[in-house]
Structure 1
Amino acid sequence: MTSFLSTFVNKVDRKGRVSVPAPFRAALSDAAYQGIIAYPSLKDPAIDAFGRAMLEDLNQRRLDKTMSDGEFEQALLGSDNMIDTIMAMAHEMPFDGEGRIMLPTALAESANITDRAAFVGRGTRFQIWAPDTFEQHQQDSVAALRARLRETGDGT
């Protein structure tokens, strides 16, 4: 299964093109569709993205009845009753010859992305953030996790 790790910050040019990090493109290199599927995150001030293979695999499992509609939505999105909304908001973005995508204005605006974009690995998917927003989010998340670990005594 495809795995996206780490964080990369790349420049967005005046035309809205941004280079997808080489490790992320490599994770998608075996796919028939050379590009990504992306939509505005419903949870974070970011863009959620993944390869078409993930969507096709989950959809095929649903069609084969090896998972229920609820399990399909849970596996793809983390909660029920969102698939139709997300599919309506999704954009297919093929890679150009240099590994860039054209970031649609609506997607960029949904995440407040202007001249730089942070690509953040999330395992089977990734997110695209405005770098400053992600940095603050990450600092807040680490601080909350450290506080919880101190409270529970589980920190090492």
Structure 2
Amino acid sequence: MGQGVFLSTYEKQLDAKRRLLIPGDFRTAENGAEHGVFLFPSIEADCLEAGGDHLFAVYNEVIQSLPFGSEERSALEWQVMGEQVRLSFDSGGRITLPDHLCLEAELSGDVVIVGLNDRFQIWAKDKWMARRAEQRRLAKAGLAQVAKAKLEAQIKLAGGGA
């Protein structure tokens, strides 16, 4: 369980040369990141998104499934392929983040690396704290909806509903 995916949250320090230690369990053959990662500005949030070869394959498949020349395909090609950098690990397991990506995501000093299954995100700590609170609120509401739907289904199956 948990093999080949990015799990957990790590607080790290970005040094003056923009080097960031990537957790050892994020640098495995199982998740396609044993030699390095690819990185680009996140499409969904104010952070950087990263992953190994497996995530790259997922994005490539999505892009290839869209009609050539469509707005959606072009936007994804631009964002994922055009903005992407490939970063290798140094002997200590660190990557050096490009200056322009650090500026875009407002990264310096304390950062947070968040594993999200087939990808991970790199956040400025203050932005991560706000996002975490928002995600927790959404998760609670979503879980409550699921519980309510299950209860309604059980009542209906038991003959107590219309």
TM range (shorter): 0.7 to 0.9
Residue 10 (structure 2) aligned to one of 8, 11, 21: 8
For residue 75 of structure 1, what is the aligned residue in structure 2?
A: none
CA distance change for structure 1 residues 136 and 96 in 2, over 3 Å: closer, same or farther? Answer: same
Normalization by structure 1: what TM-score? Answer: 0.76
Bigger relative contact order, structure 1 or 2 (CA pairs below 8 A, ≥6 apart): 1
User: Residue 4 of structure 2 contacts residue 31 of structure 2 at CA under 8 Å; is this kept in 1?
Assistant: no
Q: Is 1:98 the equivalent of 2:99?
A: no
CA distance change for structure 1 residues 107 and 9 in 2, over 3 Å: closer, same or farther? Answer: same
Normalization by structure 2: what TM-score? Answer: 0.73
1 CA distance for matches of 2:85 and 2:138? Answer: 33
Alpha-carbon deviations, 1:51-93, whole Å to 9, x = none?
134425765x68xxxx95239xxxxxxxx42332121100011
For residue 105 of structure 2, what is the aligned residue in structure 1?
A: 111
Q: Offset of 1:112 from its aligned partner?
A: 1.0
For residue 20 of structure 1, what is the aligned residue in structure 2?
A: 22
Identity %: 27
For residue 42 of structure 2, what is the aligned residue in structure 1?
A: 41
1 CA distance for matches of 2:77 and 2:117? Answer: 23
CA distance change for structure 1 residues 44 and 58 in 2, over 3 Å: closer, same or farther? Answer: closer
Alpha-carbon deviations, 1:16-61, whole Å to 9, x = none?
10100111113x47858611000011210010111134425765x6
Residue 69 (structure 1) aligned to one of 30, 50, 65: 65
Gaps of 5+ in 1: 72-79
TM alignment of 1:125-144, pairs within 5 A: 125-144=119-138
CA distance change for structure 1 residues 144 and 102 in 2, over 3 Å: closer, same or farther? Answer: same
Give me the CA root mean square deviation.
2.8
Gaps of 5+ in 2: 149-162
User: Residue 47 of structure 1 contacts residue 128 of structure 1 at CA under 8 Å; is this kept in 2?
Assistant: yes
User: Residue 6 of structure 2 contacts residue 116 of structure 2 at CA under 8 Å; is this kept in 1?
Assistant: yes
